[in-house]
Amino acid sequence: MPADAATANPLTHRSEFASGLRPRRHRHLLRHVLNLEDFERMVEHRLPRAVFGYVSGGAEAGVTYQHNREVFAQWRFITRILRDVSRRSTATTLFGRTYAAPFAIAPMGASAVVGYDADNRMARAAMDANIPFILSANSITPLEELAQTNPHAWFAAYQKPAAENIQAMCERVAAAGYDVFMLTVDVPVGSNRENNIRTGYTMPLRPTPRLALDGLSHPRWLAGTGLRTVLKRGVPAISNIDPTQRPTIFSRTLGGVTGHAAFAWEQAELIRRHWKGRFVLKGILSKEDARIARESGVDGIVVSNHGGRQLDGSVSPMDVLSEIRAETGDMTVFADSGFRRGTDVLKALALGAHCVLIGRPFLFAAALAGEAGVEHAIKLLSREIDTDMALLGVSAVDQVDASVLR
């Protein structure tokens, strides 16, 4: 990275290697990681097949999952030259706060089952790098604990439709100090994830000889994540799905934890009335829904197909981003699903997004090398965006618009 880029994109690191493994070990692992996709390749055989399959897979035949990566090839850049890009900056402003780069760590359920204390490790790395981190309601890390780790974190909810539950959940999240409430809206029912069945992953978790053998054949994960998590937290519980209930990962009540078919715009508007902070809807693919969100007083939307994990055959956010942006008015627009490269991020910005959410690679980074792995992932993507901006001929993210694409 050139000296001027380092000046333009300061990343403050609390410690070079903070995740618990020896620094030499971290350096050995991370020197082989040159981009975000490398993390998945390196961690695949270190995780139980059921755990890796849960994170890496999509719904049904994986058509949407594959399309999410392939869609970026539809656009090419038109570069500009002799523009003096020596003072470029990747900084972006979201909800009144300036962040170092236009990407965030997306909410991911069960992260701490994949990598030890992964929610806290990703949250610390995000805070040190000054990018947003979003905690999932399906995490086993209590939202109050995470807020102590990263006071600037956001919260992503799977909300029950009952009015009293909505009010109580809003009060709990506000009391913990969160400013952004992100409601996941694209899961009225659980999807058909055949890959989970094939690899032995279920929720609620059902102990079987096959699952036990899977764990025993991965002793590094078993000792470093599974047993350490039980020693720290006891039987893991889904901590943030409800104002008071904490069902364990073995509880039969988990069957409907994400899907609430009765949830409608009426309930979303009720959250808007109770929630005094920024309110974001995650999972929009329709310009009509974007318009309704704007008219309902929503502050932001995430154009998302849930990483290909819900309706197989759905469009990519990139397919509809520009037409949705035309309906959003003053709302902040995010996009997710399939982003891996700096050029992917810049293409989304050019089509109207203000920021991109990225999930799987950061979780794989935490599973591979803890907080140091996440720090490395953030630096890799930040450097790509910075280099790509210079080559494109722009000095600020708000200069990236439709004119740079063909």
Element (H, E) at 183: strand 180-184
Query: Which CATH superfamily, name and number, covers 3-195+254-397?
Result: Aldolase class I (3.20.20.70)
Q: How far apart are CA 254 and CA 142, in angstroms?
A: 17
Give 145 or 2, the one with higher predicted confidence. 145
Active-site residue, selected from the candidate residues 26, 152, 218, 306: 306
pLDDT of the residue at 202: 85
Max Cα-Cα span within the chain: 64
* pLDDT tens readout for residues 188-226: 998 999 999 999 988 888 889 999 999 999 999 999 999
pLDDT of the residue at 257: 54
Active site residue 306: yes
Pull the structure tokens for residue 41: 């390749």
Peptide bond preceding 142 in cis form (omega within 30 of 0)? no
CA neighbours closer than 13 Å in the CB half-sphere of residue 75: 23
Rounded to 5°, the CA angle 293-299-302 comes to: 70
Beta-bridge partners for 334? 302, 355
Tell me the binding residues for FMN.
Answer: 107-109, 136, 158, 184, 282, 304, 336-340, 359-360
* pLDDT tens readout for residues 9-27: 434 334 333 334 446 677 8
Q: Give me the sign of the Cα torsion angle 201, 121, 336, 29.
A: negative
Q: How far apart are CA 130 and CA 172, in angstroms?
A: 25
pLDDT of the residue at 8: 40
* pLDDT tens readout for residues 45-95: 999 999 999 999 999 999 999 999 999 999 999 999 999 999 999 999 999
Tell me the binding residues for glyoxylate.
Answer: 54, 193, 306, 309
Model confidence at 251, pLDDT cuts 50, 70, 90, reads confident
Contacts of 31 (CB under 8 A, 6+ apart): none
Contact 390, 5 (CB under 8 A): yes
Q: How far apart are CA 81 and CA 159, in angstroms?
A: 49
What are the extents of the domains in the chain? 3-195+254-397
Q: Give me the sign of the Cα torsion angle 205, 207, 212, 213.
A: negative
Please check the confidence at residue 255 and state whether its pLDDT lies above 80: no
How many CB atoms are closer than 10 A to CB 237?
A: 18
Compute the average pLDDT of residues 232-258: 84
Contact 218, 211 (CB under 8 A): no
Q: How high is the mean pLDDT of the chain?
A: 92
pLDDT of the residue at 13: 38
